Amino acid sequence: MAEAHRKTILLVEDNPDDVSLTLRAFRKSDPAIRVDVVTDGVQALDYLLGANPLLGADTAVPPASRDLPALVLLDLKLPKLDGQEVLQHLRADERTRLLPVVILTSSREQEDLIGCYSRGANSYIRKPVDFMRFSSVVEQLGLYWLDLNESPF
């Protein structure tokens, strides 16, 4: 199993404004954090598993040369495959079933909250609208998941 890279985060987000805000907030909090960005659910699975779920399991080629990120920040409303489907695929795969996944979404739907936790999300955070608050949330995410949390990898 590839080891998690301690200072790498995979951001799965299709909104360019949210990507920009997140990158800016991480750069401000800790410039050593590397944030890789993908913009849809299929790209997320390609990045993490080397698998395209739309083509079938027999096409999976794990990206052995790439370490897993230390954390996945996953939006829910994504093109091609939504966040809950991505989460379900990650939890079904031995390589990523313990990978920390934080849902970072604007959804206030109770159904989304329950669905994500039932599929194995480690945390569910609603995106604050205010940039200062958003920056604070991102800083705390980085501190907790990259510095304080003990990873299984």
CATH number for 14: 3.40.50.2300
Question: Mean pLDDT across the stretch 90-95?
Answer: 94
Question: Mean pLDDT across the stretch 71-93?
Answer: 96
**Residue 37 pLDDT more than 90?**
yes
Whether residue 21 is contained in a domain is answered as yes
Bigger pLDDT: 69 vs 54 = 69
Report helix, strand or coil for 42.
Answer: helix
Q: Shortest CA distance to 103 belongs to which of 80, 123, 85?
A: 123
> What is the per-residue pLDDT for 7?
87
Helix axes of 131-142 and 16-29: crossing angle, nearest 10 degrees: 60
> What is the per-residue pLDDT for 23?
94
**Residue 67 pLDDT more than 70?**
yes
- Among 101-105, 134-138, 149-153, name the most confident range: 101-105
Separation between Cα atoms, residue 26 and residue 86, nearest integer Å: 23
Whether residue 152 is contained in a domain is answered as no
Encoded amino acid at 86, one letter: V
Per-residue confidence at 98, pLDDT binned at 50, 70, 90?
very high
DSSP assignment letter at 131: H
- The residue segments making up the domain with residue 56 are 4-147
Whether residue 153 is contained in a domain is answered as no
List all residues 6 or more positions away from 20 whose beta carbon is below 8 Å from its beta carbon: none
Per-residue confidence at 151, pLDDT binned at 50, 70, 90?
confident
Whether residue 71 is contained in a domain is answered as yes
Long-range contacts of 3-7 (CB under 8 A, 24+ apart): 3/67, 3/68, 3/153, 4/67, 4/68, 4/69, 4/70, 4/99, 4/151, 4/153, 5/34, 5/67, 5/68, 5/69, 5/70, 6/70, 6/146, 6/151, 7/32, 7/33, 7/34, 7/70, 7/146
Per-residue confidence at 50, pLDDT binned at 50, 70, 90?
confident
Helix axes of 41-49 and 83-92: crossing angle, nearest 10 degrees: 20
Whether residue 57 is contained in a domain is answered as yes
> What is the per-residue pLDDT for 51?
62
**Residue 52 pLDDT more than 70?**
no
Q: Could you give the number of structural domains in the chain?
A: 1
Sign of CA dihedral 101, 8, 2, 64: positive
**Residue 152 pLDDT more than 90?**
no
**Residue 58 pLDDT more than 50?**
no
